[in-house]
A and B are shown apart, each in its own frame.
Chain A
Amino acid sequence: MMYSDKVMDHFANPRNVGVVEDADGVGQVGNPVCGDMMTFTIKVKDDRLEDVKFQTFGCGAAIAVSSMVSEMAKGKTLEEALAITNDSVAEELGGLPKNKMHCSNLGADALHEAIKDYQARREGAPPREAKPMDAHEHEGQVCPYCDHALEPEDKVFCRACRVEFEECPSCGGITKKGDRACVHCGKPLGPDAQE
């Protein structure tokens, strides 16, 4: 597996590691079940992120993503910080391996959670306690032709068969795009479904 130089740099020399004292917001995503867990703490002044720190339990990609998010967010207004997306973080890192896009690339989500926590506190909510979230399930859909597990982000495409799929509107199963009937329930698809 190959990481970009930028990912390796952020992994070897992560920026903004730690916990902000008396944080104004705390955000946490992930779970050890998936291998990655990220905690962000923020300090807000005049609607700007004065300080951003993170702690991450996870692989090289997860650490690099967290570090990059902290760097991108520091000094930004809350609105600007909320515009940072997981995809823009991955892009900034020079890309991530495909199988890391789902679990490890959650840094922006963790930051947004921290900002939401800050906003909720301003409306009188109690400070959020950082604790592991429920695990999301990896057992997803499988290709109906070869049983190859489809990763969540490529639900519509089997990399083994190189076939494009769509979700059947009747049964929710994954079936070949352009077919006239669902491979699972046999209900008509596409133009035939209109009748």
Chain B
Amino acid sequence: MGASGPAAPAEAVMKRIYLDHIAATPVHPAVREAMAPFLAGTFGNPRSFHAEGRDALAALEEARGKVAALIGAEDAEIYFTSNGTEANNFAIKGLALGRQAQGTHIVVSAVEHPSVLNPVKALGKMGFTSTIVPVDGAGRIDPGEVAKALTPRTTLVSIMTANSEVGTIEPAAEIAALCRERGVLFHTDAVAAAGNIPIDVKALGADALSLSGDQFYGPKGAAALFVRRGTRILPLLDGGVQEGGRRGGTENVAGAVGLGRAAELARQEMPGRTARVAALRDRLLEELPARVERVLVTGSREARLPHHASFCIEFVEGEAMMLSLDMQGIAASSGSACASKSLKASHVLLAMGLDHATAQGSLVFSLIDDTTREDIDHLLDVFPPIIDRLRRMSPLFTQYLKEKGR
């Protein structure tokens, strides 16, 4: 920081630069507006046979249509859930248990979200077996490895559309095609991808797909699972007739309406959003390693989410970087052990072959729609001194300098 004069009034309130899209996006004003009536006057239960109920049902079904349109699905193939985790649990457990008579083997990748890996682990206690397919250094899954993992007992493959920690877009369509050939169901966790890159479930060939509104300017608590018509799936929540009897419980009407409006906006605005954020992402991916030594870009450079820039900064730890950035008004995220409650380094980075020390320096910037060139420039300016300060404290950096003879 150094000695500076009295703070200018403009600096009195620091502008926050929010670069943690993958944790949550702000709710779009148009989404808020669409939801407002359902938090006030229109309160009916969509399953009630009176005017209040009918109003709620009409709004719910309109929202379902908008979510379906975002991914090229039919309205009846969309099931509202309360979040991406529920959608993934519903898919993994519902599809695997629905086909239990045909087989009990599941294939997933090593970089799946815990809401996919842990349901598979839970099914393991009920007699299911699984194969975890490895990834390459860019976090990419080789469809050939998935093919090798299939056995006559395999009934379900779940591979994510894109990874939220390293931004890599997976070859989901290729994997879906080979699953179809072998008569195996294919689910894809598209929570990080849907609303951010174009997805068409027919072109993709997925039997099930999870998405969540808080990844594309919708509200939290509103997500959905697409299940191809005619696919057997057992409910996760047994209850009444809601969602075709496949997901019991009174629907979150306001949330679904918000999700629907966000899906509609994503469909309309995606080309503009993508072009804008991808240019800023590329600047960050280029400039950050150019301004600080020993910084590596994690994930694929080519097949990458447009809003996603991720790095490992050697000799420093992620949470310390996050705190330092936060003090400068910048919100980012990290997959370091310390930044996680579990105190374990990111399973994604370790699966990509990074060593523990490097994985601890994980830092993810995920851009939102109103991120500006000035925001990125500001980040690029404040970043080198932050790293310099932390590295001067780091025994690993001292060791590195000593080995380099500096």
Residues of A within 8 A of B (CB): 3, 8, 11-12, 14, 17, 19, 28, 31-39, 55-63, 99-100, 102-104, 130, 135, 138, 149
Contacts and interface: CB of A to CB of B under 8 A. Distances in A.
B398 A19 contact: yes
Interface in B315-350: 315-320, 323, 327, 336-339, 341-345
B402 to A, nearest CB: 10
A39 to B, nearest CB: 4
Given A35-B337, A35-B338, A103-B343, A60 B320 contact: yes
B239 interface: no
Interface in B273-322: 315-320
Contacts of A35: 317, 319, 336-338, 343, 345, 360
B180 interface: no
Given A102-B343, A103-B343, A59 B336 contact: yes
A163 to B, nearest CB: 20
B380 interface: no
A60 B356 contact: no
A58 B320 contact: yes
Contacts of A3: 323
Contacts of B337: 33-35, 103
A14 B356 CA distance: 25
Given A57-B395, A63-B393, 19 more contacts: A8-B323, A32-B355, A33-B345, A34-B337, A35-B317, A35-B337, A55-B395, A56-B394, A57-B357, A57-B393, A57-B396, A58-B317, A59-B323, A60-B320, A62-B317, A63-B320, A102-B343, A103-B337, A103-B343
Contacts of A17: 392-393
Chain A binding site: helix, strand, loop or mixed by DSSP?
mixed
B338 A56 contact: no
A138 B344 contact: yes
Contacts, number: 86
Interface of B: 315-320, 323, 327, 336-339, 341-345, 355-357, 360, 392-398
A56 B390 CA distance: 9
A14 to B, nearest CB: 7
A90 to B, nearest CB: 16
B317 A28 contact: no
B338 A62 contact: yes
A99 B341 contact: yes
Contact of B343 (A12, A38, A60, A99): A99
Contacts of A100: 338
Contacts of A12: 327
Given A59-B319, A59-B336, A104-B338, A32 B393 contact: no
A148 to B, nearest CB: 11
A37 B404 CA distance: 21
Contacts of A60: 319-320, 323
22 contacts: A11-B320, A11-B323, A14-B393, A31-B356, A32-B396, A34-B343, A35-B338, A36-B338, A37-B396, A39-B395, A55-B395, A57-B317, A57-B360, A58-B317, A59-B318, A59-B319, A59-B320, A60-B320, A60-B323, A103-B337, A130-B395, A138-B344
A34 B315 CA distance: 14
Given A19-B398, A28-B395, A59 B345 contact: no
Contacts of B345: 33, 35
Nearest to B327: A12
Contacts of B344: 138
Please give me the 6 A-B residue pairs with the lowest Cβ-Cβ distance, nearest first: A59-B338, A32-B357, A35-B337, A59-B319, A55-B395, A35-B338
Nearest to B338: A59
For B337, B355, B356, B393, the residue with the greatest tally of chain A CB atoms inside 10 Å of its CB is: B393
Nearest to A61: B338
Nearest to B344: A138
Contact of B394 (A11, A55, A138, A149): A55
A172 to B, nearest CB: 22
